[in-house]
Amino acid sequence: MSEEEITYETEMTADDVGATEHVPETVTQKSLTADCLRLIQRPGWLWWVVFLFDLAILAVAMVAERNQIVQGIGVAGHTRPVMWASYVTNFVFWVGIAHCGTLVSAILFLFRSHFRRAVYRVAEAMTVFGVMTAGLFPIIHLGRPWFAYWLFPYPHQRQLWPNFRSPLEWDVFAVSTYLTVSTIFFLVGIIPDAAAQRDHGANRFYRLIGHIFSFGWTGANHQWKHFYGAYLYFAAFATPLVLSVHSVVSWDFAMAQVPGWHSTIFAPYFVAGAIFSGVALVINLLIPIRSVFKLEHIVTVDHIEKLSKLVLLTSMIVTYSYLVEIFSAWYGPSSNERDMFMWRFFGHFWWAGWTMATCNSLIPLLLWSKKVRRNLPLLFVICLFVNVGMWFERFVIIVSSLARPFDPAPWGVNYKMSWTEGAILAGSFAWFFMFFLIFIRVLPAFSLAEIKETLRAPMRRKA
Amino acid sequence: MIQKLVDRLLAPAPQKHAGVMGIFEYVDDAAAAVRALRQVGHKDLSVYSPVPHHDLEHALEQGPSLVRWVTFGGATLGLTGGFSLCIYSVISYPLVVGGKELISLPPFVVIGYESMILLGALANLMGMLALARLPQVKSKAPYDPRFSLDKIGIWVPCTGDDAARVEKMLRGQGAEEVKVHV
Which of B2, B24, B87, B110 should one mutate to test binding to chain A, selecting the residue with the greatest count of A CBs within 10 A?
Answer: B110
pLDDT higher than threshold 50 for residue A15:
no
- Could you confirm whether domain B10-63+137-181 is CATH 2.40.128? no
So what's the pLDDT on residue A111?
83
B87 at the A interface (CB within 8 A)? no
Cβ-based contacts of B172 with chain A (< 8 Å): 1-3, 6
Contacts of B75 in chain A (CB under 8 A): 237
Cβ contact B148–A196 (<8 Å):
yes
Which residues in chain B have Cβ-Cβ distances shorter than 8 Å to A164? 85-86, 89-90, 107-108, 111
Q: Which residues of B touch A195 (CB under 8 A)?
A: 148
Q: Which of B27, B113, B117 sits opposite A458 (nearest CB)?
A: B27
Determine contact: B65 vs chain A, CB below 8 A: yes
- Write out the DSSP string of A292-343: HTT-TTTS-HHHHHHHHHHHHHHHHHHHHHHHHHHHHHHHSS-HHHHHHHHH
pLDDT in tens, B26-44: 998 999 999 999 998 888 8
A71-120 pLDDT, tens digit each: 999 999 888 889 999 999 999 999 999 988 888 888 888 888 878 888 88
Predicted local distance difference test score (pLDDT) of residue A13: 41
- Containing H/E element for A228? helix A221-254
- Check CB contact under 8 Å for A170 and B107: yes
The per-residue pLDDT for A21 is 52
The nearest alpha carbon in chain B to A199 belongs to B145
User: With 90 as the cut, is the pLDDT of residue A10 above it?
Assistant: no
Chain A 72-101, residues with CB within 8 Å of chain B CB atoms: none
- Among the partner-chain residues B48, B93, B124, the one whose CB lies closest to the CB of A233 is B124
Q: What is the pLDDT of residues A245-285, one digit of tens each?
A: 999 999 999 999 899 999 999 999 999 999 999 999 999 99
Q: Who wins on pLDDT, A458 or B6?
A: A458
Question: Taking all residues of chain A, what is their mean pLDDT, rounded to a whole number?
Answer: 88
Contact A460 B132 (CB under 8 A): no
pLDDT of residue A20: 45
Q: What are the distances in angstroms from CA A190 to CA A168, A211, A440, B74, B182?
A: 33, 12, 12, 23, 34
Confirm if A279 and A286 have CB atoms less than 8 A apart: no
The answer to whether the Cβ–Cβ distance between A164 and B53 falls below 8 Å is: no
**Cα maximum dimension of chain B:** 85
User: Regarding predicted confidence, which is higher, A250 or A457?
Assistant: A250
The CATH 3.30.70 portion of chain B extends over: 10-63+137-181
> Which comes out higher in pLDDT, residue B123 or B9?
B123
Distance from CA of A249 to the nearest CA of B (A): 12
Q: What percent of chain A has a predicted confidence (pLDDT) above 90? A: 63
- For residue A306, the distance in angstroms to the closest alpha carbon of chain B comes to 25
Task: Give B127-130 contacts, CB < 8 A, sequence gap 24+.
Answer: B127/A226, B127/A230, B127/B66, B127/B67, B127/B69, B127/B70, B127/B71, B127/B74, B128/A188, B128/A226, B128/A227, B128/A229, B128/A230, B128/B67, B129/A215, B130/B70
Contact B48 A221 (CB under 8 A): yes
For domain A15-149+164-454, the CATH superfamily is Formate dehydrogenase/DMSO reductase domain (1.20.1630.10)
Q: Mean per-residue pLDDT for A374-400?
A: 95
CB contact under 8 A, A229 and B65: yes
Strand partners, B22: B154, B178
Mean pLDDT of A286-300: 87
Strand partners, A114: none
Res B13: pLDDT? 59
pLDDT of residue B1: 67
Among B114, B125, B129, beta carbon nearest to A173: B114
Q: Which residues contact B134 (CB under 8 A, 6 or more apart)?
A: A191, A215, A216, A217, A223, B128
Of the candidates A6, A383, A176, the one whose C-alpha atom is nearest the C-alpha of residue B32 is: A6
List Cα–Cα distances, A169 to A153, A176, A416, A436, in angstroms: 10, 11, 28, 29
Percent of chain A surpassing pLDDT 70? 94
pLDDT for B75 equals 96
Is B89 in contact with B102 (CB distance < 8 Å)?
no
Does the distance separating the beta carbons of A240 and B132 come in below 8 Å? no
For residue B167, list chain A residues with Cβ-Cβ distance below 8 A: none
Answer yes or no: are the C-beta atoms of A68 and A428 closer than 8 Å: no
Question: Which residues lie closer than 8 Å to A8 by C-beta, 6 or more apart?
Answer: A460, B174
Residue A374's pLDDT is what?
A: 94
pLDDT per position as a tens digit, A196-241: 999 988 888 888 999 999 999 999 999 999 999 999 999 999 999 9
Determine, for residues B128 and A226 on separate chains, whether the beta-carbon distance falls below 8 Å: yes
Contact: A169, B111; criterion CB under 8 Å: yes
Question: With contacts defined as CB-CB under 8 Å, which chain A residues touch B107?
Answer: 164-165, 170
Residue A220, chain B, CB below 8 Å: the answer is: yes
Q: How many CB pairs under 8 A join A and B?
A: 217
Nearest CA in chain B to A195: B148
**Would you call A254 an interface residue with chain B, using a CB distance cutoff of 8 Å?**
no
Domain layout of chain A by residue ranges: 15-149+164-454
Q: Measured between CB atoms, does B110 come within 8 Å of chain A?
A: yes
Tell me if chain A has a CB within 8 Å of the CB of B139. yes
Q: Could you tell me which residues are beta bridge partners of residue B133?
A: none
pLDDT in tens, B53-107: 888 888 888 888 899 999 999 999 999 999 999 999 999 888 898 888 899 999 9
Interface of A with B in 14-53 (CB under 8 A): 28-30, 33
Task: Determine contact, residues A200/A33, Cβ cutoff 8 Å.
Answer: yes
Q: Does A223 touch chain B (CB under 8 A)?
A: yes
Question: Which residue among A198, A208, A248 sits closest to B6, beta carbon to beta carbon?
Answer: A208
Q: How far is A102 from chain B (nearest CA, A)?
A: 14
* Res. B159: pLDDT tops 90: no
Smallest Cβ–Cβ distance between A160 and the set B10, B68, B93 belongs to B93
SS3 A82: strand
Which of A6-20, A49-63, A144-158 has maximum average pLDDT?
Answer: A49-63
Backbone angles phi, psi at A79, to 5 degrees: -135, 135
| B50 at A interface, C-beta within 8 A | yes
Task: Tell me the nearest-neighbour CA distance from A242 into chain B, angstroms.
Answer: 11
Q: What would the DSSP string read from start to end of chain B?
A: -HHHHHHHHHSPPP----EEEEEES-HHHHHHHHHHHHHTT----EEE-SS--HHHHHHHT----THHHHHHHHHHHHHHHHHHHHHHHHHHS----TT--S--HHHHHHHHHHHHHHHHHHHHHHHHHHHTT-S-SS-SS---GGGGTT-EEEEE---HHHHHHHHHHHHHTT-SEEEEE-
Residue of B nearest to A4 (CA): B172
For residues A317-344, give the mean pLDDT: 93
